Amino acid sequence: MVDDSTKKSLSGIPLLKTKAGPRDKDLWVQRLKEEYQGLIQYVQNNKSADNDWFRLESNKEGTRWFGKCWYIHNLLKYEFDVEFDIPVTYPTTAPEIALPELDGKTAKMFRGGKICLSDHFKPLWARNVPRFGIAHAMALGLGPWLAVEIPDLIEKGIVSYKEKSEG
Amino acid sequence: MTLVQLQQRIKELEEQLKQERIKHEGVQQPVRDKISQMSSEVVDSNPYSRLMALKRMGIVDNYEKIREFTVAVVGVGGVGSVTAEMLTRCGIVLFPCSCSRLMALKRMGIVDNYEKIREFTVAVVGVGGVGSVTAEMLTRCGIGKLLLFDYDKVELANMNRLFFQPHQAGLSKVEAAAKTLVSINPDVAMETYNYNITTMDNFQDFMNRISHSSLSGGPVDLVLSCVDNFEARMAINSACNELNMSWFESGVSENAVSGHIQFIVPGDTACFACAPPLIVASNIDEKTLKRDGVCAASLPTTMGIVAGFLVQNTLKYLLGFGEVTYYLGYSALTDFFPTMRLRPNTMCDDNHCRQRQVEFQAKPPVQKEETGAAVSGGNEVVHEDNDWGITLVDETIEVEDSRHGDVALGLVAGIKTAYSIPAPEVSSTLTNEANLDSSISLEELMAQMKSI
């Protein structure tokens, strides 16, 4: 089930139009532009809602993405590296978002630190091809995952707070 | 010590090191290279010289025929074990591939050309619980060549599945598998690819490999999907639709109590993208299934059974005996095995699938039958009015018409789609019309994203 706050943030992300994957040359560039516009809009929405929680960038082909995401727990900020590849079958299949530094620390992950998404994610994604993009995957996949897993990992002492220089 | 003594000592130490390695790694290196043809040449390295001498001397006129026989030794005690050893040393069981038990299939009239197995090349994608066992079975059957694809490493957590051994932890799966398989049967040619096939560069290489790596340099004879995720299955599906290659999909459910194999012939049968993923009813209420804390469970039994079905149908397809099953499901809790044949979806999302369908329809009927000759029969149950797609996973989304298009897939009882897909025209409940400005360049957008 998608909770209300997730639904709300989803509704603020523009839907994409171009059905193209990394093998589609020019059409992929078009899709990539839509992806960036969607992400920029989503990050701006998050900032204005005082819920800024990730940054992403890609290689110039747009096939490999990396950045940071963070989660605030008891006023402390826990930050993690995020990365994923765009599969050749994108956007029919969603990107598999990974947090490599948590690999092996939780059972809710597949090899390489790929997060284990809820049963609802894949059907919802499949119904919304090609309108959902990377921003939707973050909102619907990584966001809820962090909200459930990080407090649990902190409580178990598996993840601990690290002092960071930047705010 | 003299030079000769030193050299002797080095030789001894090397031998000791070798023995230690074998003990330590637990992997038996093949003691000698494969021998495809029994020779009567009298040299130290030929284990058959003294046997083939029987032929030279005119005592036996076809000694090499020994390799076609099967002998059952019942009771391996004082007499039996020595009997078995003698037979082995005579050349009966030394070669698992051209091995007597398998060649007996020919003598019994089940397969009329078993030795043809050595001409075939099979690509196994995913060398996990199903793929590793699949590769081992094919190796023991004496398949000509195997291509193994996987990017994972062996972990102790894999030990609830068959094939891999604890001492292999840390090795890449393809490397560890190839080592074991070659020691089981050195006659099988082996190529390994340690990468994820779903990324751009690797996918291109994957397509090249499966289309040029057979023993004769052409496409492999069959691709077996033993992967554990939707993305990789869809990647194999795209590749095979594009290259017009037949393949088998296989899988085990995340709750470990059901599995399936599916034979996909582009244009002729439904491809993997023709419908949402199919699931075998497990008789467990999905809502009561607890997923807390884990992504997936696995059992060596279910995986071994699925691998067995997969290789059995692979053999039937390659060697042309029996009937190949298009879809075979397995429900472990009820020992229920539904079978069916799925028609392609004329509105399939994959344009290469649609293209293959047009090509298939254009074929004269005789040829269509030929294509299905080795795969005739099967349970062609077509239920036009089957209400497939009744599962509604997310109640927050409007109920869609589950039978969009003219997809009369023909699912049998006990099989359903994992979820339903709305008709293309139906707009989402989450509609938010985007006004994306296409005049901005990608570089500008990348810079904008960076500067937020």
CATH number of B146's domain: 3.40.50.720
CB B84 within 8 A of CB B52: no
> Does pLDDT of B427 surpass 60?
no
Round to whole Å and give the CA distance between B227 and B251: 7
Residue that wins the pLDDT comparison between B331 and B24: B331
Residues B224 and B347 in one domain: yes
Of residues A57, A111, A129, nearest to B450 (C-beta): A57
Q: In Å, how far are A115, B26, B125, B169, B360 from B155, measured between CA atoms? A: 18, 16, 18, 5, 44
B84-137 confidence digits (pLDDT tens): 777 776 666 444 444 677 878 887 888 888 889 999 999 999 999 999 999 999
For position B400, what pLDDT does the model report? 39
- Chain centre distance of CA B211: 16
B138 and B232 share one domain: yes
How many Å lie between the alpha carbon of A87 and the closest alpha carbon of chain B?
5
Give me the catalytic one of A116, A120, A152, A156.
A116
The reply to whether B69 and B145 lie within a common domain is: no
Residues B320 and B226 in one domain: yes
Shared domain check, B269 and B218? yes
Domain check: are B65 and B123 in the same one? Answer: no
Give yes or no for A123 touching B (CB within 8 A).
yes
- Please report the pLDDT score of residue B350 as a whole number: 95
pLDDT at B362: 95
Residue A88 within a domain: yes
> Which residue from A minimizes the CA distance to B421?
A127
Closest CB to B434 among A15, A36, A127: A15
Which chain B residue is nearest to residue A64, measuring alpha carbons?
A: B199
Domain that includes residue A64, residue range: 4-155
Q: What is the pLDDT of residues B260-308, one digit of tens each?
A: 999 999 999 999 999 999 999 877 766 666 655 566 788 999 999 999 9
pLDDT confidence bin for B214, thresholds 50/70/90: very high
> Would residue B102 count as lying in a domain?
no
B262 and B350 share one domain? yes
Q: Is residue B312 part of a domain?
A: yes
Q: How many residues does chain B have?
A: 452
Name the residue range of residue B330's domain: 114-289+296-371
Does A36 contact B349 at a Cβ distance shorter than 8 Å? no
In a domain, A162, yes or no: no
B90, B240, B274, B295: the catalytic one is B295
Domain count, chain B: 2
Measuring CA to CA, which residue among B20, B265, B26 is closest to residue B154?
A: B26
- pLDDT, tens digit (0-9, with 9 covering 90-100), for B216-240: 999 999 999 999 999 999 999 999 9
The per-residue pLDDT for range B42-83, each reduced to its tens digit, is 666 666 666 666 666 666 667 677 777 666 767 777 777 777
> Do B66 and B159 sit in the same domain of this protein?
no
Full strand arrangement of the beta sheet holding A54-58: A54-58, A64-73, A76-85
**Hey, is the C-beta of A164 within 8 angstroms of any chain B C-beta?**
no
Say if residue B321 is in the same domain as residue B352. yes
Residues of chain A with pLDDT under 50: 165-167
Strands B189-193 and B145-149 turn out to be parallel
Q: What pLDDT sits at residue B385?
A: 46
Which of chain B's residues have a Cβ under 8 Å away from the Cβ of A32? 442
Q: How many domains does one find in chain A?
A: 1
Our answer to whether residue A69 is catalytic in this structure is: no
Please tell me the pTM assigned to this model: 0.77
Of B276, B431, B437, Cβ closest to residue A126: B276
Query: Is B394 close to A124, i.e. CB distance below 8 A?
Result: yes
CATH number of the domain to which A21 belongs: 3.10.110.10
